[in-house]
């Protein structure tokens, strides 16, 4: 199991992103079952997963995760939390990479 607090170097040429994604998914399942999806440890795992997908240019998966995280944060912690704003920033980055300029502008205007 990948340690939740471990620093995964997503920029390293030796980084095994497929293996990392698999481990993160296993961790996420474990954390969700024991702590629930709203737990900060689960959220941190989700964020690392979204970063992995963004790194390999799987923007659709990354976008889906960021939107899920924004929903969870707004519902449980409020709209004006710094972490929620950070997620909007990441989402706008992914939307831009996907060429979704109109949606990117809408999200940017929210944040």
Task: Output 49 or 9, whichever has higher pLDDT.
Answer: 49
pLDDT tops 60 at residue 39: yes
Residue 75 vs residues 38, 72, 85, 93, 107: alpha-carbon distances, Å: 10, 5, 14, 23, 17
| Percent of the chain predicted with pLDDT > 70 | 86
77 Cβ contact list (under 8 Å, min separation 6) = 83, 84
Which band of pLDDT confidence, cut at 50, 70 and 90, is reported for residue 98?
Answer: very high
Query: Is residue 1 pLDDT above 80, yes or no?
Result: no
pLDDT at 11 exceeding the cut of 90: no
Write the DSSP symbol of residue 16: -
Whole-structure pTM over 0.75, yes or no? Answer: yes
């Amino acid at each position: 199991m990948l340690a939740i607090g471990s620093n995964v170097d997503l920029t390293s040429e030796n980084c095994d992103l497929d293996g990392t994604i698999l481990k993160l998914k296993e961790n996420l399942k474990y954390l969700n079952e024991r702590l629930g999806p709203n737990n900060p440890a689960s959220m941190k795992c989700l964020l690392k997963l979204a970063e992995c997908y963004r790194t390999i240019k799987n923007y659709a998966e990354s976008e889906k995760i960021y939107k899920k995280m924004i929903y969870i944060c707004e519902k449980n912690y409020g709209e004006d939390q710094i972490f929620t704003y950070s997620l909007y920033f990441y989402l706008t980055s992914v939307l831009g990479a996907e060429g979704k300029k109109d949606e990117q502008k809408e999200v940017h205007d929210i944040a």
